[in-house]
Amino acid sequence: MTTTAPAARRRVPARWIAAAAVAALVVLMAVDTEYRTAETAAAAAPAKFDPAAFGAQNYEAKVVPAIKQSAVDLPVLLKALAGDKDAAGQKYGKRQGTGPYTFAVKGRGEAGKARSGLLPVTVEGVPDGTRVSLQIGPAINGTALRDAAGFITFGQFTNQVEYADAATALNNELRAKLLNGLDVAALDGKEITFTGAFTLLTPQTVTITPVEIS
């Protein structure tokens, strides 16, 4: 009896296997792909930083209370700075990186005549030769409010521009909430109390950005 050998299996061409694999991959990609309209894509994008909103949300609710809570008497601070600037900075100040320290301070003194956006204040107990003044606008310079608050850091922002805009926004809120209604001329010769912040450039010139004047 004659037996017939099984027919040889036909090999599938390699190009067919590759084509099938590509087709399967395309199907999987299509299933896994989420299609978005222009509107949904815009809604999912990170919100653009709004300096005005940042200032309004943080100035009165967070920054002012933080500065008031950590404010040190100005004569005490200046005496400490005269003794050991680094130790005083570590104890009373705040800073990021290796920049200058920023301090929250409070004090009492006799106000002088305002000029060039500054209100001079004679504060008893500060070292001789120290000039103390409060920024009263219209221009408010510096980043003291942002830096003295202690909870606002560069890492919270996308870039240096946003970080700078945050400081400007807080200064704008200060001007609107405190300085626009302040009769600076009437303070000349009067005893005032103040709370604010300044960045240490030299202990002999203390220019304070105030959050409270009374």
Which residue stretches of 49-127 are H helix?
51-58, 64-70, 74-83, 85-92
- Tens of pLDDT, residue by residue over 57-86, are 999 999 999 999 999 999 999 999 999 999
In this predicted structure, the answer to whether residue 130 has a pLDDT above a threshold of 60 is yes
> Up-side HSE of residue 77: CA atoms within 13 Å toward CB?
28
Torsion of CA 142, 80, 59, 182, to 10 degrees: -80
pLDDT of 33 > 70? The answer is no
Dump pLDDT digits (tens) for 80-123: 999 999 999 999 999 988 889 999 999 999 999 999 999 999 99
Report d(CA 107, CA 79) in Å as an integer. Answer: 14
Read off the pLDDT band of 47 (50, 70, 90): confident
Which of 59, 93, 65, 79 has its CA nearest to residue 170?
59
CA atoms of 16 and 170, how far apart (whole Å): 67
> Does the pLDDT at position 29 exceed 90?
no
Q: What is the mean pLDDT of the chain?
A: 88
